[in-house]
Structure 1
Amino acid sequence: MSGVSRLEPVPAVALWSDQSIHIPTVCLDPAGIHHQGPENRFEDGLLWPQVAGTPTGAPRYAEVNPLLQRVAMEGLLCQIGMGPATRSPKGVLWLLHQPEGTRDDPVRDWAGGENVLDPPVCLFHARDAAGTCPELRRGHEAFWVGDSELVGVAGLYYPPDQAQPVDRTIPLDSPETRFLVATALIRELRNVSPVDLADPLLPVDPVPCNAQPDGAAPMKRCPARPSPFTSSPLDLN
């Protein structure tokens, strides 16, 4: 219908207008940083911010819920439905925007591996997003990923010798992570095989990763906005 906006599936990892990311007071000592009061610190020792509010209001596509990004990346869950990402003998399915080939958005170097903040996807939501998300409609690439190791973390780094924190990406095995409030996990994608989402050999009517027993798949849809994930290269050096 003319004049009606196309509705886009909202990624489960997107932040909503009734939510906010809160970093409590940061205390610094030689052993690292900690928050005053309750902390979001998990088995790997990383310190994470707090997310206040409820996933209601309007989706803020340009912002990611760091706690849900962590869950999706650790568990290889679909970033849209938060169910299991689609797997094949060639690996786990990933859907990424097509690079512009510029300095800020270079062509991906698969020979050397590619670091990403984007969690994987299921086939159902990959096809849906590829046809509705403005950025993906301009160009996208889908891959089976044979190896996807967690290699790094992005966040707010509190240098022991400086007054102000800075944005930084750090290897997961670096001792510097003890001075970081994490906001996203990073996976390195290797051993990739391009896949055409319209390939007739793929299931014609795949089941959504978050389908209920009755076959229904809960999904929030809103007017399309920008992708929540960065297109800038992630340097862990």
Structure 2
Amino acid sequence: MNQATSPFKIAAIQMVSTPQVEENFSTARKLVAEAAQQGAQLVLLPEYWPIMGWQDSDKVTIAESLGAGPIQRFMAGLAKEHNIHLIGGTLPLISQESGKVLNATLVYGPGGEQLSHYDKIHLFSFNKGEESYDEARTISYGKDVTTFNAPCGKVGLSVCYDLRFPELYRAMGDCSLIVMPAAFTYTTGKAHWEILLRARAIENQCYVLAAAQGGKHPNGRRTWGHSMLIDPWGEIKMVLPEGEGVVSGEIDADYMRQVRENLPALRHRKL
């Protein structure tokens, strides 16, 4: 594993994003600054942080080309200003499919340079009573499993519904940290969010950092929240149930190595 001397401080930002991009910029700016003041060296924004529109198609209207646009400039500037690794939750990038976007995670280094890019692979759909979602109507499927190297080691990128597909995380290989920006619905989050996050940490014997949308949005949607940091033994180190705020903690490489030595499950894999 490529790891720096521990501990390495990380943070997740929880938001209740609105249909107004500039309003969300203001919230993200404030919370990322708060995380940096707490000593965070890597900060994760939630899924859909720049916009939770009145309707799903609103994100198509603000989609950017990769490498250009106000949302990307904003994230690069934040990373550089605070000298951090910033994992930008998701933003809409222009897709080759008409009327759709890629739900993309972009990673920026402390100098504001783009380090990595992941397009969400698994697209959420859910129907129960009056609750109905189908992301594939406005989002194109991503294709590539993506990781990048940070001072804490290899970081695996995933988004929201990806959490239900453990084979994705096995394909990432040996990670020190898995990140999960999300906008889980209240219904599915209450039932499955914590148990799935803890399972991914336990089975991969690594840290999991989850940054969620958490509250009642102007468009009427309610998201589950409960941003959290989980250690390689599956213990929740910090959690924020609802509302805006910061969840922070440390990656302890020595502790992760000890967990893997005590229970060498990763070495015992046969498939």
Structure with bigger helix share is 2
Bigger Rg over Cα: 1
Do both share a fold (TM > 0.5)? no
Higher RCO structure, 1 or 2 (CA under 8 Å, sep 6+): 1
TM range, normalised to the smaller chain?
A: under 0.3
